[in-house]
Amino acid sequence: MRVVWKQLGLLMLLTVMVAVFAGAVQAAAEPSIIVDGKKLDLTGGARVEIVDGNVIIPIRIVTENLGFQVGWDAQTRGISITEGSRTINLTVGSKTALVDGVEKTLLAAPVLKNGVTGVPLRFVSEQMGMDVDWNDATKTASVNRPAPPAGDSVTVTVDDISLNGRQLKIAVGGKVEPKVFTMSGPERIVIDLPGTSLSRALEDRSSQKGVVSIANSSEIAGVRYALFSNSPSTVRVVMDLNSAAPYTVTRGSANEVLVELTGEPTPGTDIPGTPGTGPQLPPVTQPEPPPVASGKKLIVIDAGHGGSDAGAVGATGKREKDVNLAIALKVQALLVNDPHLEVILTRDDDTFIELGNRGTKANEVKADAFVSIHANSVKNAPSANGSESYYYEEASKSFTQIMHKHLLEATGFRDRGVKQANFKVIRDANMVSVLLETGFLSNAAEEAKLFTDDMQQRIAQGIVDGLKEYFGFA
């Protein structure tokens, strides 16, 4: 009997310990945020903290998930948050805020910790007309945007896009609130115009790659545009830069949106602006745009050569047409159920296709991008090695740079760079296009790697990752 009591006592002790441990785990649970029913994925080191009973969120979450524009004054440690016609001015360490010039008192002051600026979630969201709720048991903050008015589906047209020197002018048929941010690798300024659609004239021009003709510029590599999203209808304009540069966003006459480069460009910096002032953002990672497009982007993947055209022959006799097709089929498999990208192959078996029919096929289906997959070879030079990527028109340079970056990450081969070439297969395509030379079959080591399933899968994934970054779905 004594043994039984000891066993019961031990069981009760274990039960108490499990309960205490579970409580400790729950108490240590990280706070989370749900916006419009979707839990945010707080990646990139973003953390939600509780200060004096208030939820403090990094500025990155404000810009990336709530869609507000944020400005930062390093001297005063001031933060400006703008949405539509409303502006909130906050100061790190101060519980006094200005909302459209009217003084308000905060329950918790903004903080600057380890280089990350944090602001009180409830105050910012409620001042912008959102509903906020906090569940203390699950440590979850819920933010819900108000339902849009019935008339919100009406769009205004973007009538013209032009570049004069360092200033980009976007003529809009009504008032819009642009969302402007930067992206890197390569450097570019992205202008999203919610509630807009393309005019008939711009729609016709967009079928010719959506490129704005520009004079030679040492700063601006190109300007392109497209209807980025159908829900809400959003036109996106992109300024491709040769190096990062500060800029301002202002309004011109008749609802024009003006984006102008300012100061001396400094390679490697990323200094976004806010409307009319161009101040530096808080010291946090600048977000990439959330994937908001509802319509799929159509991608044509071209497996180079095929049939009677074997392409390059490798050091041990392996054929280029085979590795090109294997990679193309893997890209197709990766995208078969993708919500944003749809893929068409120029060939899905060992078929010969005339060179002139590859780019034109992409034109016929009105593709958004064309990717031609190849492998290199050099006679009597078995040491030649590396990956390189080619574009034909300047309009495809930014696209090619992004695709090349992901190709290099996939292969790990030597970087042979991004180059311009008059290849017919990409010259014929009326959309952004790239020819990828994955590696050298004449190099025995690279030939062996390219014919492994692992390397082919990595290259296919790299192509998918590059497409998603370029179109804003990364």
Catalytic residues: 437
Q: Are 244 and 267 in contact (CB under 8 A)?
A: yes
Cβ atoms within 10 Å, residue 372: 25
| HSE-CB of 80 using CA atoms within 13 angstroms | 21
Rounded to 10 degrees, what is the CA torsion of 86, 174, 253, 237?
Answer: 90
**CA 107/CA 128 separation, integer angstroms:** 17
Burial of residue 325 (number of CB atoms within 10 Å: 0-12, 13-18, 19+) = buried
DSSP class of residue 66? I
* DSSP-assigned beta bridge partners for residue 49: 56
226: enclosing H helix or E strand:
strand 220-230
Cβ atoms within 10 Å, residue 217: 15
**CA 311/CA 355 separation, integer angstroms:** 12
**CA 121/CA 141 separation, integer angstroms:** 9
| 3-class SS shares of the chain: helix, strand, coil, % to 5 | 25, 35, 40
Q: Are 304 and 374 in contact (CB under 8 A)?
A: yes
Strands, DSSP E only, in 231-350? 233-241, 247-251, 257-261, 297-303, 341-345
| Residues ≥6 apart with Cβ < 8 Å to 221 | 186, 240, 241, 242, 394, 397, 398
